[in-house]
């Protein structure tokens, strides 16, 4: 009886192994047939050295008289250096996306009051106004530029946000828009993720770095 039981167990084990192998083979075949999207690189080019600092929140008085009020601003300062062995025309582009779905573009025409506040908070008197930093970036550490990206209207309830930075690389790619079926040019973009622990309404928020990667967008 024991021998019959052993033989039966062995047959069941073999059947189970064959079934598992069939399922794995089917899954691999299905995966191989799945049309994964591909990105066709158009150009592999230069890449600038980009050193960023953790975003900070400040309040700046705006308006005059009875219309004077405090407005919230978030800013991220950075240093960009050209070590590509060629002069590069640097045109930075920033986008902030919150976990609430809000897409924010930076303030371009910073008032002297806002820029002075940022320079005072950071202790960096060499920060260039966003409206003036675009232009030819000469080679070498001596020609590095200190810039700042400033955002307003970031929701208080946001606990996570992502900042996309483009203009740091000459790499481009071509991909078809699934809606219009037309080809669009994508640019190599740096993705920086942050999260804010705790309530940030009554206390100074302390954003935590949550990861970075290069994406094509």
Regarding whether 73 and 17 lie in a shared domain, the answer is no
Regarding whether 148 and 45 lie in a shared domain, the answer is yes
Q: Is 109:58 a contact under the CB 8 Å cutoff?
A: no
Tens of pLDDT, residue by residue over 155-176, are: 988 999 999 999 999 999 988 8
Regarding whether 203 and 122 lie in a shared domain, the answer is yes
Regarding whether 13 and 56 lie in a shared domain, the answer is no
Regarding whether 85 and 27 lie in a shared domain, the answer is no
Kindly give, in sequence order, each residue whose CB lies less than 8 Å from that of residue 39, ignoring residues fewer than 6 positions away: 173, 174, 175, 186, 216
Q: Is the pTM of this model over 0.85?
A: no
pLDDT-based confidence at residue 140 (cuts at 50, 70, 90): very high
Spatial CA neighbour of 75 closest among 7, 128, 28: 128
Q: Which helix (H) or strand (E) holds 69?
A: strand 69-81
Regarding whether 100 and 29 lie in a shared domain, the answer is no
Regarding whether 71 and 99 lie in a shared domain, the answer is yes
pLDDT-based confidence at residue 15 (cuts at 50, 70, 90): very low
Regarding whether 110 and 62 lie in a shared domain, the answer is yes
Tens of pLDDT, residue by residue over 125-136, are: 999 999 999 999
pLDDT at 20: 42
Residue 8 belongs to domain spanning: 2-36
Average pLDDT of the chain, as a whole number: 83
**Residue 182 CB-half CA count within 13 A:** 3
187 phi and psi angles, rounded to 5 deg: -120, 145
pLDDT at 53: 97
Report how many domains make up the chain.
2
What average pLDDT does this structure show over 144-161?
94
Higher pLDDT, 4 or 121: 121
Regarding whether 94 and 133 lie in a shared domain, the answer is yes
Q: State the CATH number of the domain containing residue 128.
A: 2.60.40
Q: Which helix (H) or strand (E) holds 111?
A: none
Regarding whether 148 and 106 lie in a shared domain, the answer is yes
Report whether pLDDT(150) > 50: yes
Regarding whether 102 and 12 lie in a shared domain, the answer is no
Pairing of strands 103-104, 145-152: unpaired
Q: Is 137:90 a contact under the CB 8 Å cutoff?
A: yes
Regarding whether 77 and 22 lie in a shared domain, the answer is no
pLDDT-based confidence at residue 39 (cuts at 50, 70, 90): low
């Amino acid at each position: 009886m024991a021998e019959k039981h052993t033989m039966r167990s062995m047959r069941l084990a073999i059947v189970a192994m064959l079934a598992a192998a069939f399922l794995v083979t089917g899954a691999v075949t299905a995966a191989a047939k799945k049309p994964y999207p591909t990105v066709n690189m158009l150009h592999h080019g230069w890449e600038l050295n980009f050193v960023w600092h953790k975003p900070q929140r400040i309040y700046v008085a705006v308006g005059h008289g009875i219309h004077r009020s405090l407005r919230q601003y978030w800013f991220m300062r950075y240093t960009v250096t050209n070590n590509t062995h060629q002069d590069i025309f640097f045109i930075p582009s920033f986008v902030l996306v919150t976990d609430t779905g809000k897409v924010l573009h930076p303030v371009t025409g910073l008032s002297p009051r806002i820029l002075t506040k940022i320079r005072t908070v950071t202790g960096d008197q060499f920060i260039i106004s966003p409206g003036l930093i675009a232009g030819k970036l000469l080679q070498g550490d001596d020609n590095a530029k200190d810039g700042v990206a400033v955002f307003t209207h970031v929701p208080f309830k946001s606990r996570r946000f992502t900042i996309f930075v483009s203009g740091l690389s000459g790499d481009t790619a071509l991909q078809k828009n699934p809606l219009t079926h037309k080809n669009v040019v994508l640019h190599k973009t740096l993705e920086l993720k942050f999260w804010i622990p705790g309530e940030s309404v009554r206390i100074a928020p302390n954003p935590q770095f949550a990861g970075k990667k290069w994406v094509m967008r």
